Chain A
Amino acid sequence: MLKKVTHLLRCKISRSSPLVAGAIVMLSGVMSCAAANQQQTSTAPSSPIRQLDRVKQRGQLICGTSGKVPGFSFVDPQGQYSGLDVDICRAVAVAVLNDSNKVEFRQLGATQRFTSIQTGSIDVISQMVTVTISRQAAVGVAFGPIVLYDGQGIMVKQRSGITDLASLSGKSICVQTGSTTELNLADQFRKRNIPYQPVVFESRDATFTAYEQGRCDAVTTDRSGLVAQRSKLANPTEHVIFADVLSKEPLAPGVKGGDHQWHSILTWTVNALIQAEEYGITSQNVDQIAASSQDPDVRRFLGVEGNIGDGLGLSHDFARRVIKQVGNYAEIYDRNLGADSPLQIERGPNQLWTKGGLLYSPPFR
């Protein structure tokens, strides 16, 4: 039987040229591609399943995160994800599923993070993404509120005598390749017409090791990263970080564009963290305040009266549950980046607007 078929095949094919066979293979490939595309266009509008329902049905939030940035996202010795980016995901999980552990974290490489959100294989991306116009417009990420205002900074050794950007003229600067960091550095120095010598490395570790060993006069990355790495140098006090900021790096979580309700859930969950700090509500005192407060704003915010969560498809006390389980913004910041962490990064612009910072939550009403 088999012999017959192969014989038949041989006869058929040997008469036509191998080129024809190749063409058939390619043609069928193209056709199946076209069919797939057609399917894509025809099914896209007719899928009104909301992301919220999908997450509730799954019983788990899938959150994309880097897993490789100190203070923002890493794996602790117990195997738990930890960091500021991670806590944002946990807050969303509490708002939707009422359990900060119902999150599956997916580590994403820089190339995958946007395609993962486009294809819907993750629900939320919380991965130190800088908000930019092209990411919002072309990639189609709908960003939530900014959770950290960072900026690119420069660190030098104190005894080098370098005090500002101008005195870096002709000096060498260690920088990580392939990042916006490298581009910002070039832009800023070109703008100021300062000549410099970039020394480029593949990883953050290599960049800072080279700086420590004196291969370059200065090192540049986001200020939060500079502070974190400085705390691990042999003598942290011997290094100074310039007040000059080379770029704006507003970091925000995001969701796939097009699902208004899901974007609102992310937005108002993050806003609730900031608003809670403004009200002075923490994970410790949230129950007590809910029971005793007479302030109508606070009572509405905590869901004691009114129905603020209903419009989002959440319960009216979602803010209270989030604060109870994850804490307010100050608690999250302090344990991951600030006073209670090994990094000891000042709040800087990440203070409430009432204290001269940039954090400002629209009203909950």
Chain B
Amino acid sequence: MSLDPPPLCRSPRWTQKLFDTPLNSLLSVVFLMAIVPGITAVLIWATTQAQWSVLAANVKLFLVGRYPVEWLWRLRIAVALLALVGGMAWGSVQRPQQPWQPLRNRSFLIGVAVAVGIAVMPMVLVAKLSLMLPILLVLLGDGLGRNLPLLRWLPLLGVVSGASLLWLIRGGLGLQQVATANWGGLLLTLFTAAVSLVLSFPLGVLLAFGRQSSLPVLRLTSTIYIEVLRGLPLIGVLFMALVMLPLLLPPDWTRPDPLIAATLGLAMTAAAYLAEVVRGGLQAIPRGQLEAARALGLHPVLTIALVLLPQALRLVLPALAGEAITLFKTTTLLSVFGFMELLGISSSVLANPDFIGRHAEVYLFIGAIYWAFCYLISRVSQSLENRLLDSR
């Protein structure tokens, strides 16, 4: 007897889903009645009462804060580089397509649609170009990444582009230095989030192994570190780094740059959380894997690098993305300490007598920015998951 494949079920239309039984119809009507007035009220407010000029007038502040205008071209190059490398990384972790079919690729089409949308929007030409160019570069990088064997070069590419980004933003080595006090807006938010994430990752992995180590000192230190930093509120850690540390250092020592102190504080706390996530992954790996590696005579370091870590990280990828999103949003705490990241610069803009009372517009805008970047992180993590499931 041959087994028939189960009948393919077409997913029902949304009207059928919402109104298939009397109870469902009732629930749908009730919820629609609750949602529709809210949405219309927001739309009416956004089109008639809101004064969006506060955003147009201060768009530079929201994006880069008080970064000097004469050096903005450096940031433009940095964005272009980031877009190209980001596109390449994205492209090279996608499933290889044979042959490359851009017109069948959804993210490619979305990118083109957004670029066309920007092209027809009523904006200054420079603004149009500076928005469109990164999108086109992402698409170009995506194409390159899919067609060239870039995957093994990604770490090197990441290090080189990271260093050049830092050089472009901060200056030095032939470029005019820009003091960190002048960094602001989205630039500062992205910088602190990215740098603390990059720093916290290796530390977190080390701590995860440290906590499982058979050496008592290592295990004890790692455990104490993780438990102390996870137990402290982050605002307390930042307070220690930014307020208490300058008081406790000997008076003739130079004080650390507040931005470095804050980023390290963020990274150290994030590392404690990451360590526990990674440890969860490590404990989920069957013991046989480790024993097999030992039986083959694999060096312990190679066992970690080739056997344990790749499997553990693959297992906890969704949780890692969650930590990254949390860290990105946690950077708003820096505004309490006078940093002009997105939230901080917003209150400085709102203190302008010309824009008093425009907080709804401003907070809605920066809320949308936070959402967009968190969604991006989540999409990237999903795409990585798909790719890693394939390769298993």
**Shortest Cβ gap from A24 to chain B (Å):** 10
Q: Is A28 an interface residue (CB 8 A)?
A: no
| B residues near A82, Cβ cutoff 8 Å | 352
Count of CB-CB pairs between chains A and B under 8 Å: 128
Q: Is A295 an interface residue (CB 8 A)?
A: no
Choice from A10, A121, A343 contacting B353 with Cβ under 8 Å: A343
Q: Give A29-58 as 1s and 0s: 1 = Cβ < 8 Å from B's Cβ atoms.
A: 000010010011001100100000000000
Contact segment of B77-85, B244-252, B321-329: B244-252
- CB-CB contacts below 8 Å: B227-274 with A: 239, 242-244, 246-252, 255
Q: Is B347 an interface residue (CB 8 A)?
A: yes
- CB-CB contacts below 8 Å: B166-191 with A: 179, 181
Complex CA–CA separation, A70 to B358 (angstroms): 13
Choice from B220, B336, B337, B352 contacting A75 with Cβ under 8 Å: B352
B348 and A21 within 8 A (CB): no
Complex CA–CA separation, A47 to B220 (angstroms): 42
Q: Is A351 an interface residue (CB 8 A)?
A: no
Q: Is B86 an interface residue (CB 8 A)?
A: no
A79 and B69 within 8 A (CB): yes
| A residues near B179, Cβ cutoff 8 Å | 104
B220 and A118 within 8 A (CB): no
Q: Is B20 an interface residue (CB 8 A)?
A: no
For A40, A47, A75, A82, the residue with the greatest tally of chain B CB atoms inside 10 Å of its CB is A75
- CB-CB contacts below 8 Å: B29-67 with A: 57-58, 60-61, 65-67
Closest B residue to A104 by CB, please name it: B181
Q: Is B351 an interface residue (CB 8 A)?
A: yes
**Shortest Cβ gap from B147 to chain A (Å):** 42
Complex CA–CA separation, A77 to B193 (angstroms): 25
Closest A residue to B219 by CB, please name it: A18
| B residues near A111, Cβ cutoff 8 Å | 239, 243, 336-337
Query: With A21-B216, A205-B350 given, is the CB distance from A107 to B338 under 8 Å?
Result: yes
Q: Is B217 an interface residue (CB 8 A)?
A: yes
| A residues near B338, Cβ cutoff 8 Å | 67, 106-109, 112
| B residues near A228, Cβ cutoff 8 Å | 353, 356
Choice from B243, B255, B347 contacting A112 with Cβ under 8 Å: B243
Q: Is A73 an interface residue (CB 8 A)?
A: yes
Query: With A77-B57, A77-B58, A121-B255 given, is the CB distance from A43 to B220 under 8 Å?
Result: no
Q: Give A328-342 as 1s and 0s: 1 = Cβ < 8 Å from B's Cβ atoms.
A: 000000000000011
Q: Is A22 an interface residue (CB 8 A)?
A: yes
Complex CA–CA separation, A104 to B353 (angstroms): 22
Q: Is A14 an interface residue (CB 8 A)?
A: yes
For A18, A79, A82, the residue with the greatest tally of chain B CB atoms inside 10 Å of its CB is A79
Q: Give A1-41 as 1s and 0s: 1 = Cβ < 8 Å from B's Cβ atoms.
A: 00000100110011000100110010000000100100110
Q: Is B4 an interface residue (CB 8 A)?
A: no
**Shortest Cβ gap from B171 to chain A (Å):** 16
**Shortest Cβ gap from A200 to chain B (Å):** 18
Q: How large is the interface on A (under 10, 10 to 19, 20 to 34, 35 or more residues)?
A: 35 or more
Q: Is B342 an interface residue (CB 8 A)?
A: no
Closest B residue to A75 by CB, please name it: B348
| A residues near B65, Cβ cutoff 8 Å | 79
Query: With A18-B216, A22-B220 given, is the CB distance from A75 to B349 under 8 Å?
Result: yes
Query: With A18-B216, A18-B220, A104-B179 given, is the CB distance from A70 to B351 under 8 Å?
Result: yes
**Shortest Cβ gap from B209 to chain A (Å):** 13
Complex CA–CA separation, A228 to B355 (angstroms): 11
Choice from A14, A70, A71, A112 contacting B242 with Cβ under 8 Å: A112
Q: Give A113-132 as 1s and 0s: 1 = Cβ < 8 Å from B's Cβ atoms.
A: 00110111100000000000
A14 and B356 within 8 A (CB): no
| B residues near A69, Cβ cutoff 8 Å | 351
Q: Give B331-347 as 1s and 0s: 1 = Cβ < 8 Å from A's Cβ atoms.
A: 00000111110001101
Would you call the interface of chain A mostly helix, strand, loop, or mixed? Answer: mixed
A119 and B247 within 8 A (CB): yes
| A residues near B390, Cβ cutoff 8 Å | none
| B residues near A71, Cβ cutoff 8 Å | 353
Q: Is B76 an interface residue (CB 8 A)?
A: no
**Shortest Cβ gap from A135 to chain B (Å):** 17
B251 and A40 within 8 A (CB): yes
A10 and B215 within 8 A (CB): yes
**Shortest Cβ gap from A127 to chain B (Å):** 10
Q: Give A90-115 as 1s and 0s: 1 = Cβ < 8 Å from B's Cβ atoms.
A: 00000000000000111111011001
Q: Is B367 an interface residue (CB 8 A)?
A: no
B60 and A73 within 8 A (CB): no
Q: Is A68 an interface residue (CB 8 A)?
A: yes
Complex CA–CA separation, A107 to B351 (angstroms): 13
| A residues near B61, Cβ cutoff 8 Å | 75, 77, 79
Q: Give B346-374 as 1s and 0s: 1 = Cβ < 8 Å from A's Cβ atoms.
A: 01111111101101000000000000000
Query: With A6-B215, A77-B57, A111-B239 given, is the CB distance from A121 to B351 under 8 Å?
Result: no
| A residues near B220, Cβ cutoff 8 Å | 18, 21-22
**Shortest Cβ gap from B244 to chain A (Å):** 8
Complex CA–CA separation, A105 to B220 (angstroms): 44
A9 and B215 within 8 A (CB): yes
Q: Is A232 an interface residue (CB 8 A)?
A: yes
B351 and A109 within 8 A (CB): no
The 25 sampled A-B contact pairs (Cβ below 8 Å) are A10-B215, A10-B216, A14-B216, A25-B221, A33-B248, A36-B248, A70-B352, A75-B345, A75-B352, A77-B352, A79-B60, A79-B61, A79-B67, A82-B352, A104-B181, A106-B181, A109-B336, A109-B338, A112-B243, A112-B338, A115-B244, A119-B247, A205-B359, A209-B359, A228-B356
Residues on B lying within 8 angstroms of A by beta carbon are: 57-58, 60-61, 65-67, 69, 179, 181, 214-217, 220-221, 224, 239, 242-244, 246-252, 255, 336-340, 344-345, 347-354, 356-357, 359
In the complex, besides A77-B61, A104-B179, A208-B357, 6 extra interface pairs with C-beta distance below 8 angstroms are A43-B250, A47-B251, A74-B351, A75-B61, A76-B352, A343-B353
Residues on A lying within 8 angstroms of B by beta carbon are: 6, 9-10, 13-14, 18, 21-22, 25, 33, 36, 39-40, 43-44, 47, 67-71, 73-77, 79, 82, 104-109, 111-112, 115-116, 118-121, 205, 208-209, 228-229, 231-233, 341-343
